[in-house]
Structure 1
């Protein structure tokens, strides 16, 4: 079964500033809870993602078990949207679209994640019991962290 998680957040900054923050692969660990021990394994010659780029990580999502995760940047429409897709990792499917909309006073950003777990009925059971809530916690953390970085720090 394919699940969807969607979040929207407003930033009181320019489209250029929001785009620059989100497309810098070095910022991924900053918006991920420390408990996940998220580490980007690559070093990059660029501070901006590009179509076809691979990003490799280690993450400890459950019980301290370290997993390898590899995503590919599938699509980039500058200052509009980008899509990353898991090529290797804990999900059967992970497709994450980030969209940016300039509005009066700032930028509205929407995250839309489509994901599917492996293991059939066991995956469905794990989703209801653990995964759904864990993803909500991660995106709640992202929301709070992004408020501090792109709203509070610059505009209070």
Structure 2
């Protein structure tokens, strides 16, 4: 099992950071423009049972990725898990922790690549570097969107 974590201090109260993530178009806002990802659908908000579906492009090959929210504790956390996609397993924990007037936003992902230990050894560093790029972008977008709320 591989692990990834990105944490940032967002200069806004926890309620506003949570509300930002509840927006209907949040996936469009948080998807880096350089990534070959198409958002197909989002059903529900952050609550348990909500579904997000993406089409990823690996060269010319489309890959469907579907995630379902399995836990939700407003305004502190929610969890989504891959139910269809390229990973052997994928669990993404979104944590919102108050720090004074600000919020610590932490994304933690536990995942397994298809192909077992050899695939993880060969590709794990590359996958983590792609995740680091994506979550830096997401946290920067969140910070910028909420900068006037501190």
TM-score in terms of structure 2 length: 0.86
Question: Could you say if the C-alpha distance between residues 79 and 126 of structure 1 is closer, same or farther in structure 2, counting changes exceeding 3 Å?
Answer: same
- Determine if contact 1:29/1:38 at 8 Å carries over to the other structure: no
Q: What is the correspondence of 1:83-122 to structure 2 with a 5 Å cutoff?
A: 83-120=79-116, 121-122=118-119
Aligned match for 2:128, one of 129, 132, 142: 132
User: Is residue 2:2 matched to residue 1:3?
Assistant: yes
The alignment's C-alpha RMSD in Å is 2.1
Bigger relative contact order (CA 8 A; separation at least 6): 2
Runs of 4+ in 1 over 6 A off after TM superposition: none
Larger proportion of strand: 2
Q: Residue by residue, what CA displacement relative to the aligned partner does 1:32-68 show, whole Å, maximum 9, x if unpaired?
A: 2112233322254x5x3211122211123x4354321
- Determine if contact 1:26/1:40 at 8 Å carries over to the other structure: no
User: Where do 5+ consecutive residues of structure 2 fail to align?
Assistant: none
Aligned to 1:36: 35
Aligned to 2:55: 58
**Matches of 1:77 and 1:110, distance apart in 2:** 15
User: Where do 5+ consecutive residues of structure 1 fail to align?
Assistant: none
Aligned residues: 149
TM-score in terms of structure 1 length: 0.83
